[in-house]
Chain A
């Protein structure tokens, strides 16, 4: 048994860990052990979707080979443990980019499919799953299935956003997006308040990437103060690949490091840092993956770890709900280090249980201070549910079973497609009382 934690580092849980180096080893894994199993990629989900207490964890990071790369059409098939980091190293020099990237490139393709991740370009291209052309899935029955929109279509839909529950993903095939430069043309504006955000977002609809950083300690009329950034792939420039992380947090920061005062200071400095506003051409790395520059940044939150709240609410309620969530955050003073706000488009995901919905999504980190933090998260959950929204399983550690089942009414269909040998702590948590 080895102790494993997720990115939020809220606890270390014992698992029977195996780490296959070749796909042929997967065949022996399901069905043999009595305990349920689950795949674990880079452990970048925040809560418990990647954990399986006391069960078997199949760590997939060594299964990272490219199986086929069609450079003409930009179709890449790779073992499910391939990270977007390595994918970009191979494809960028050839003029191809990942169609959708989350805020970190240290995620596996399998993880990106299982959580049907989204990026700053969701309004234009939808989720990661929308670009998956085929999947190889190993079921505990021993069958190796090929899934696509045409083949085993139901299982394909259940596997995209299926939280790894439908079996062991062996490989992923996806359609990449063409680029002619590794640079991004960006524009950044100051936001005075929340109305400003919606105005900027509306007029930026033709930009590929949009995102806003919000100062969540701003209260009253200032609620929603921050920055709005938009970007698109530049036409000119080299196809240079990103560099490895420059900095590392080698061990836990003391718990007092991130408190209301230091976070206010950070937000103040961040807001007034020079040269932030206006037009800039920058490499995709700092634009799309700003936090990847610091390896293990999650250790900044100290030994007790941290929570993330990420919700999506329908457009009709987006303004009021976002405002309420930001007000709650300011009122509780739990100190959010980073608040990110963006709009989701109406491109539907092929996935059955996929998080994005047409509307706004807000993400906030909270250092774990125990009960008080959980109380705030509960309050925020109620606000989101009341607005017809839902919480993101990949980020969540606290949502109630009811909140999940209300937010994702298709969950029963996923449960029906779940491989009987697979289970996660998250799934146990949110489906327990519904059984």
Chain B
């Protein structure tokens, strides 16, 4: 059965995904900052049918501690055969533009630390150990937009990084699944006014798509699927149209 390491296990999408995998009897190592919240999620996953659930308390965005954390994980729990990179912060664009330190934190959390985590995990991986790595990026990374380019560019970097790994490991026992969710109704998006409507998906809807993508070994998915169409259009809008859009 799968042994899944979830980085950012308290995120709503990660939680919904873990519930689905728990029902199939997977084992988990849940990593996040808050011990009490991890404990609540661990209890829930056990009740859902998880074979075992361990928790690992760490600040995942702290780039300096990643190598030590990976060693620690390896010693305590062995190598996972699936890693889900689910943590991230949306941040507030205008605020971040005015505050360089905040921008740095957003970039570190959403891109730098995530890239380092994956490199460290791959470096320490036993050669024969097959591994699936699920990277949860965002449609926001598909084209730079004035309203959201700090988060967007970090997620774009994240997705390029995973794309590169995908090519490097093509044909090996390391599989990379890139996930690009659209609007998801989670605490991360709580500050967005007028949430709701046909474009908004539940975390479970996104989790179901990820589950299918992992099972089928897809390289990249948009979730829900219609974001593929939307982003195809947005990516190809000519400049004279795009520059006028307030998105």
Contact = CB atoms under 8 A, between A and B. Distances in A.
Interface stretch (A66-74, A121-129, A324-332): A66-74
Contacts of B187: 19, 21, 62
A66 B44 contact: yes
Interface string B11-52: 010000000000100000000001011001101100111000
Nearest to A251: B198
B190 interface: yes
B48 A90 contact: yes
A311 B177 CA distance: 55
Contacts of A66: 43-44, 47-48
Size bin of chain A's contact surface? 10 to 19
A90 B186 CA distance: 23
A233 B217 CA distance: 41
A23 B190 CA distance: 17
A89 B23 CA distance: 9
Contacts of A22: 10, 34, 36-37, 40
Nearest to A24: B36
A65 interface: yes
A23 B10 CA distance: 13
A66 B44 CA distance: 5
Given A19-B187, A62-B187, A68 B40 contact: no
Nearest to A19: B190
A172 to B, nearest CB: 14
Given A19-B190, A21-B187, A90-B47, A65 B12 contact: no
A23 B41 CA distance: 11
Residue from B10, B44, B186, B187 whose CB has the most chain A CB atoms within 10 Å:
B44
Q: Which of B36, B48, B186 has the most CB of A within 10 A?
A: B48
Contact of A69 (B10, B40, B47): B47
A65 B190 contact: no
A298 B44 CA distance: 32
A215 B94 CA distance: 60
Contact of B44 (A19, A24, A65, A89): A65
A23 B43 CA distance: 14
Interface string A44-84: 00000000000000000010011111000000100100000
Given A24-B37, A62-B187, A68 B12 contact: no
Interface in A373-428: none
Contact of A65 (B23, B41, B186): B41
Contacts of B40: 22-23, 65, 67, 79
Residue of A23, A24, A65 with highest tally of chain B CB at under 10 A? A65
Interface string A325-361: 0000000000000000000000000000000000000
Contact of B43 (A24, A62, A65, A89): A65
Contacts of A23: 40
B187 to A, nearest CB: 5
B201 to A, nearest CB: 14
Nearest to B203: A62
Interface in A6-27: 19, 21-24
Nearest to B195: A2
Nearest to A76: B47
Interface of A: 19, 21-24, 62, 65-69, 76, 79, 89-90, 93
* Pairs A-B, 3 closest by C-beta atoms: A66-B47, A65-B44, A69-B47
